[in-house]
Amino acid sequence: MERREMELLKKSVQSVLEKERIGSPVFLRCVLHIANAGENLLSPVAEVAALANEWIPSQPTHVYAQGDAETTQVTIMVHYVGGQMALLSVNRADVETAIDIMLVGNKGVIYHETPIGRHYSNAIPPELDGSGELAGAIAQSLESGQPIPLEG
Amino acid sequence: MQQNGKYGVLLLGGHRTHQENYALNFAQDERCQLVAFADELDGPSERITLGRSLADALNLPFIADLDEALAREDVDIVSLCTDVERRGRIGAKCAEAGKHVYLDKPMALNSEDANKIVAAVEKNGVKSQMFSNIYSVWARTVQQALTSGRIGELQAIHCDVLFSKGHPGTAPVGEKRIQKPTLERYSFVEAKPEMFDVGVYAVSMVNWLTQKRVQRVFGGTANYFFEEHRNCGLEDFGALVLTLEGGITATLVGGRYGWQSHAQGGVRKVHLIGTEGSLTFDASANRLEVFAAEPAFEPPEPHPLDPMGMWSSTQAGIGMPPKQQWIDVGSGDDGQREFGAFVDCVENGVESEMNAEFAAHSVEIICAGYRSAASGEVISL
C-alpha cells in the first residue's frame, strides 16, 4: 500500500507536469524521513535521485554527497546538463516515514508534504519502489568528499 | 544623544532602498528619533536624488556631506542602506566616527569590505547589527526546539528562503549558467544577485541556529526564471551544501521565483535532523487560510524602475494588490522585534546576535559559494 501511495504521488505530479502548469522543472528539494530504514541509507538516497532524474528533463552531470549512510542522514546535490539542480536528503526517523517535496518549475512550483493531523489520519506514508540511480557515484562522493562527474 | 534623551538616527540610502522600511521601523521605536538623511559628497547622483526624495517624503533634512553628518553629536545610530558596493567603506567610516551601525543585508559586497566594517566596529567599541530573520517569532521557535535537545545531536539542517516576486518564464530553459568566481557589481535597477540577496537570510539563519563555523562550501547558481537577471549577468537562484564544524551538513536555497509561486511572500522553511529525531518549521504554518468571493491575486504590471517588486514605494505606485489568501498569525511585529533588538543592544551595551563580525561569516560563505559554482569544486574556508 505504501508503494501505491508513492505511485499516486508520482502520478499526481506527472499530471501537473504534463499540463506544463509549472513550466519546465528546474529544481527539486526533497527531504525524506524513513522509519525502519535498513542498515544503509544509500539505497533510499539512490531512489530519491531516480525520482529527481524522472522529473527533471535533463541528464545528471555531477553528484556531491555528504553524511554517513550508516548513521543518521545522507544529503546529495545533483547538477544537470541544462543547469537544473536537485537537493535531496534522506534521514532515519523513529516514528513514521514522511516526505517533503518542492519541485520548482520555471513558471511555478509544486509543494507536497506527507499529510499529518487528525484530518489525514488515513494517510499512508510513501515508500519508494526500490529502483535507485546514481548509487555508485553517491557512495564514491561520500567516501572522497568531492563532487563526482557522471558519464553521459 | 538627542536633548530629549532619544537616540538620534542618521539615515543613508533613499527611495528604492530598504531605508523606506527601516526608517519607519526606527521611527516607531520610542527610544529613537530620526535626525536626517545624508550621502557622500561624491556619491552617485541618482542615489543622492533618491535620498533627497525620501528625506522630503519623511520631512527630514538631507545633509549633502556624510562627514558633516557623522560629526554631529546628536547622531548616535546610522542606518546604512546605501548601494551594496559602497557599504564596506561607508560602514567603516560610520564606526570610525563612533556611531552604532545598523546594516542592511548583505552587509558588504565581499569579505574584504565586510572585514573593514568588522575592524572599525571592534576598534571603536560601537554596536552593529545586520538585518536578518533571526529575531522573528518563527526563528525563535526553531532555536528553542534546537536548544531543547528534543532531536538529540544536530546532524543536518536544511533552510529554504525564496521570494515570490517577479514575472517568471522569460529566461531560456535548459541553459546552464556560467558563474564568475567573484561578484563585481551588485546593484542594478532590474535585478540583484539572488543567492546573495535572498540567500543571505538562509545562510545567516543557519549560522545563528547552529553557532558553528562553516568549513566547506559546494554550490550552484542558475538563471531559471527572469531574463532581467540573465541580461545583468546575475543569478536568480542558488543552492549551497555546507560542511559545518563537527561534520554537520547544511543545505540552503535562496532565490526569487515569481509572484504566483507561493501564497505569501515565498517559502521560508527549516528542517532540523538530529540523532534522536527531526523537526520541520514553516514560517507560514501558523496562518489563517481565507477563501472568499473576491478576486484572486493578480501579479502587478512590472514597474519600469522595479520590475522584480523590490521596493515599497514603487509597488505602492503601481497599486500592488496584496496577497490575502494566507494571513499570518502572530508574526505581525517581526520588524519591530528586529529593530528593537538592535536598540536594546545599544541601550544595554551588549552585542547583537547578528553583529558585524557574525554577519561577515555569511558574506564569506556566499562568496565561497560563487567560487564553487564557477569552478565546480568544493571550497574550503
Convert the pLDDT of each residue in A62-90 to its tens digit.
Answer: 999 999 988 889 999 999 999 999 999 99
The answer to whether residue B368 neighbours chain A at the CB level (below 8 Å) is no
Distance between CA B139 and CA B162 in Å, rounded?
A: 16
C-alpha cell at B294: 473576491
B198 part of contact set with chain A, CB < 8 Å: no
Residue B333: pLDDT band by 50, 70, 90 thresholds? Answer: confident
Task: For residues B381 and B376, give the distance between their C-alpha atoms in angstroms, rounded to a whole number.
Answer: 16
Mean pLDDT for chain B overall: 95
pLDDT tens figures, A93-102: 767 788 999 9
Instruction: Number of A to B CB contacts under 8 A, please give it.
Output: 125
The H-assigned helical ranges of chain B are: 19-28, 45-57, 66-70, 87-96, 111-124, 137-147, 194-197, 199-210, 227-232, 312-317, 334-348, 356-375
Rounded (10°) angle between helices B111-124 and B356-375: 170
The answer, yes or no, to whether residue A116 has pLDDT greater than 60, is no
Q: In the predicted model, what is the mean pLDDT of residues B130-153?
A: 95
DSSP string, B2-62: -TTSPEEEEEE--TTSTHHHHHHHHHHSTTEEEEEEE--TTS-HHHHHHHHHHHHHTT--E
Q: How many other CB atoms are found less than 10 A from the CB of residue B1?
A: 12
Q: Please answer whether residues B119 and B92 qualify as being in contact, where contact means their C-beta atoms are separated by less than 8 angstroms.
A: yes
Overall average pLDDT of the A119-131 stretch: 56
Percent of chain B at pLDDT > 90 equals: 90
Q: Which of A71, A85, A107 sits opposite B222 (nearest CB)?
A: A85
pLDDT computed for residue A2 by the predictor = 58
In angstroms, the CA B339 to CA A8 distance is 47
Q: Which of A26, A31, A67 sits opposite B224 (nearest CB)?
A: A26
The span from the CA of B4 to the CA of B24, in Å, is 19
Mean pLDDT of chain A: 87
- Nearest residue of B to residue A23 by CA position? B169
B279 at interface of A, judged by CB pairs closer than 8 A: no
Q: Which of A16, A17, A21, A26 to mutate to test the interface with B (most CBs of B within 10 A)?
A: A26
Tell me what the mean pLDDT of segment B124-142 comes to. 96
A72 phi and psi, to 5 degrees?
-90, -45
A6 pLDDT tier (thresholds 50, 70, 90): confident
Q: Which of B99-113, B287-301, B342-356 has the least mean pLDDT?
A: B287-301
Chain A residues within 8 A of B279 when measuring between CB atoms: none
pLDDT at A117 over 50: no
Supply the pLDDT for residue A128: 66
The residue type of B357 is E
Model pTM? 0.95
Asked if this assembly's ipTM is beyond 0.90, the reply is yes
Task: Report whether pLDDT(B288) > 70.
Answer: yes
A122 grid coordinates: 488515513
Q: In this complex, is the C-beta atom of A10 within 8 Å of any C-beta atom belonging to chain B?
A: no
Residue A54 half-sphere exposure toward CB, CA atoms < 13 A = 16
Q: Which residue in chain B has the smallest CA separation from A72? A: B275
Residue B51 C-alpha cell reads as 535620498
Lowest-pLDDT range, A6-10, A84-88, B22-26, B77-81? A6-10
**Is B172 an interface residue toward A (CB < 8 Å)?**
no
CB contact under 8 A, B218 and A71: no
Assess whether pLDDT exceeds 70 at residue A44.
Answer: yes
**Span B352-374, average pLDDT:** 98
Report CA B135 to chain centroid distance, whole Å. Answer: 13
Averaged pLDDT for residues A6-28: 94
Banded pLDDT at A132 (limits 50, 70, 90) = confident
Q: Are B199 and B240 in contact (CB under 8 A)?
A: yes
Question: Over the stretch B173-219, which tens digit does the pLDDT of each residue have?
Answer: 999 999 999 999 999 999 999 999 999 999 999 999 999 999 999 99
pLDDT of residue B366: 98
Please, what's the b/e burial string for A7-45 (b: 16 or more CB within 10 A of its CB; e: otherwise)?
eebbeebeeebeeeebbbbbbbbbbbbbeebeeebbbbb
- DSSP for B60-106, written as a single string: --EES-HHHHHT-TT--EEEE-S-GGGHHHHHHHHHHTT-EEEEPSS
Range with the poorest average pLDDT among B68-72, B149-153, B246-250:
B149-153
Spatial distance between the Cα atoms of A137 and A76, rounded to a whole number of angstroms: 10
State the pLDDT at residue A127: 65
Region B275-283: mean pLDDT is 91
Q: pLDDT grade, residue A1 (50/70/90)?
A: very low
